[in-house]
Amino acid sequence: MRALWLPVAALMTLAGCSGGDNSSSSTPTQTSELRYLQVSGTAPNSQYVVDNKAKLEEAPFNGTVLALMSGRIIFHPTALFSSPSPAYWFAADQANLPNINSSILTDNFLLMRGNADASFDPFSDTHWATASANIRTVAQMAKLGQLKGVAFDPEGYTPGRNIFTYATYSGHTFAQCKTQLRLRGQQFMSIIQEEHPNSVVFLFGGLSMQRELLNAAQAQADPDAYIADRLENSAGMDGRYGLLPSFLNGMLDVISTGMQIVDGSEVTYTYSRSEDYTLERELTLTYARNHLVDSSNRTKYANQVKLGASVYMDASFDQLSDSSNLAHYMNSATRTRFFNYQLYWGLKTTDKYMWIYSETADWYKGTDIPSGATTAMTSAKARVDASQDQGDSTIEADIATAEAQVP
């Protein structure tokens, strides 16, 4: 998903105005643990990774997100990953997964798509039995390969259904849907930690998906009433993921010691200012916790949910020639400096993972990778690891010049 850029001015009032306890958002973990993850628009399957990972290991990545050959859409009424067509896919996945990790690619995740088959009903126990079996298969395969964990993408791609959008339900109240999605979140997490204990559930987006809602809520006389109304009724981003907080609360209800959830903060895809990144920490880890997390789960959220960061490389280098991208109004050298700037501030504010998303580049084949991208990755991480400043005194002025040209 391509995130919309939110101007810094719209977020500025978050600082010092979190509406509750502020203890969890301050300082990221030690920089020596920082990791780059490679994420593709079409996640490579296990066979593609095994066949081509040598090239990926030449880039500065520490891991990747890959998919089973036997399936990736877990919310389906009938299709089981354990009995795919053709049948040999399942055996191929079993053979491939133990060969994914390497001394370089240490943090790898197995993908589950959250968009559901159009006919999938979260209120159907029969449908959920199939989904549970698929979740179990992915967790088992991740454990078989000794992968870091599973990656869950909650985006409602089309065709299909977004089960986190209340508007897709009929015959149920919003309260009923919240209760049901919380139950399904409990079951989702229970299966994963049973099959792959002490692992990581990497969400492409968690409560960070509600960035704009939470930013607007702080200006309201009754933030919680405003949030509740928007989650139920909005046609925007807040409503499209209005049931995701319930699902996440369900995950937190049952999360076991040793498990960790990463909010990958997909909304940071196209951030362009240091303030964007630092305020995102406050927004996701403090304000969201105080207004979207049940009081019984706030300690677990503070201790077991970590923040990630992301960058959309196609936009950073204007690889799709999109006039809405800042990089569209930069020359080649400035785009590389811009990418370095985004990486630096993402790494400065993430707890561990910075994922680089691309729809154009194929890092496994070394094709369509922008000139300067690899050097920018290495440089940004080295400066953060060494606790150095960003080192480019003019890039923010260049960003401002580009911003002035965006329609």
All structural domains of the chain with their residue ranges: 29-403
| β strands within 114-259, DSSP E | 149-153, 200-203
Given the candidates 3.40.50.720, 3.30.420.40, 3.20.20.80, 3.40.50.10420, the CATH classification of the domain at 29-403 is 3.20.20.80
pLDDT of residue 15: 38
Listed in sequence order, the residues at least 6 apart from 62 whose beta carbon sits closer than 8 Å to its beta carbon are 35, 36, 37, 104, 105, 106, 107
Higher pLDDT, 33 or 48: 48
Helix 125-144 to helix 174-195 angle (10° resolution) is 30
Lowest mean pLDDT among 20-24, 113-117, 149-153, 229-233: 20-24
Task: Check whether 4 has a pLDDT greater than 50.
Answer: no
Q: For the chain, give the mean pLDDT.
A: 92
- Torsion angle of the four alpha carbons 391, 269, 62, 299, in this order, in degrees rounded to the nearest 10: 100
Higher pLDDT, 203 or 25: 203
Q: What does DSSP assign to residue 119?
A: T
pLDDT of residue 21: 53
Task: Check whether 232 has a pLDDT greater than 80.
Answer: yes
pTM of the model: 0.93
The answer to whether the beta carbons of residues 97 and 141 sit under 8 Å apart is: yes
The answer to whether the beta carbons of residues 105 and 53 sit under 8 Å apart is: yes
Q: Which residues of 13-40 are buried (b: 16+ CB within 10 A; e: fewer)?
A: ebeeebbeebebbeebeebeebbbbbbb
Task: Check whether 16 has a pLDDT greater than 70.
Answer: no
DSSP states along 183-214: HHHHHHHHHHHHHSTT-EEEES-SGGGGHHHH
* pLDDT classification of 351: cutoffs 50, 70, 90: very high
Residue range 328-346: mean pLDDT, rounded: 98
Residue with tokens 């204990």: 197
Residue range 199-211: mean pLDDT, rounded: 96
| β strands within 304-361, DSSP E | 305-307, 309-312, 353-358
| β strands within 45-192, DSSP E | 63-66, 109-113, 149-153
pLDDT in tens, 155-175: 988 788 999 999 999 999 999
pLDDT in tens, 87-122: 999 999 999 999 999 999 999 999 999 999 999 999
